[in-house]
Each structure stands twice: as C-alpha cells, then as structure tokens.
Amino acid sequence: MKPNTPSYLDFDIENYAWKPDIDYRKHPERYLVGKGEQGVLTCEPYKAEIGQHWRFRTEEIAKESSEKIYAQFLDYLAKGEFVGADMARKYLQMGYTRARRYANYKGGRKYDAEKNYALMERGTGDEEKAKAAAIFHSKWKEAEQNTTYAAMKADWKKARG
C-alpha cells in the first residue's frame, strides 16, 4: 500500500482483534483497549447502545449527542464496566475525528477512488462540522481526564494489554 492511501484497502479482518460475534459485556476479558477508535464499530452490545446516539450533523446535534454519550460513559464507570466506558470514550473521539474530516474535506471524502486514491483538496469542507468537532473534542478530553476512567484503563492495560 502506498503512503496516503486509505487503510481499509489492505484491511486484514482475520487478524483484527475485535470480533462482531463476541458479546463483550459477557466476555470483557476478550476486549483490548487498542489505539484510538479501534473496535468502536464492532464491539457489541456497546456499539448498539452508544452508536444510536452518535450524531454530528450540526453544532446543536453534536452537543446533544456528545452529552448523551458522555452520560453513558459515566454510567458505565459507575457500574464498573470499563469496556463500556472505553467504547463511549471512543465514540466521543470518533465524533471529533469524523466531524473534522467533514470540516476539512467536502462531503467527508479524504481520498479520490477514481484517481488512484489521491488525497482530496483540504479546506473544502463544512464549517458547521468544525463546530461539531470542537464539541466532541471537549467531551472526549473530559472523558480521558476522568480519574476513575484513567485508573481503570491503566489497570486494564497492565492486566490485558
């Protein structure tokens, strides 16, 4: 794969650590923290519980969405459910990164499939999405700075990777 091409072109699903057929609430020991947003669109039942609230079309929608997801994050922490809290944190991060993509690139498309996946022109996106991204960024950072979450994450990574 050449530089600046989408990672999904060479995606190796067989060796992907997160599997859609695992119930991570029943089998949390199979969950890996990973990097960034890895597993966010795979790990059930959290994908279904959190994903239904994930929206970033406008600043107002992003505010409502991020607040609902952050409330879920806190609820998972209160229950001692690290996997759910980490997944909620990942959805907040993904709200930021996806909204930024739409703010940076018209239609959210970073690569042009018709031109051998050449990088599209940056700065052609939607300013409203930049506002939505800022809202998600704030909630994502608030989640990451939560001391209970940070301690649970450190313990999880030490025990499981």
Measured between alpha carbons, how far is 98 from 16 in angstroms, rounded to an integer?
21
For residue 76, pLDDT beyond 90: yes
Judged by DSSP in three states, 44 sits in strand
- Spans of all domains in the chain: 37-160
Measured between alpha carbons, how far is 76 from 67 in angstroms, rounded to an integer?
14
Judged by DSSP in three states, 154 sits in helix
Instruction: Kindly provide the b/e burial profile for residues 18-41, where b requires at least 16 CB atoms within 10 angstroms of the residue's own CB.
Output: beeeeebeeeeeebbbeeebebbe
- Look up the pTM and report it: 0.85
Q: What is the average pLDDT score of the chain? A: 88
Mean pLDDT of 146-153: 97
Q: What are the tens digits of pLDDT across the range 16-60?
A: 677 888 999 999 999 988 888 888 889 999 999 999 999 999 999
- Return the sign of the alpha-carbon dihedral for residues 71, 75, 76, 77: positive
- The pLDDT > 90 percentage for the chain reads 62
- The pLDDT > 70 percentage for the chain reads 84
For residue 127, pLDDT beyond 90: no
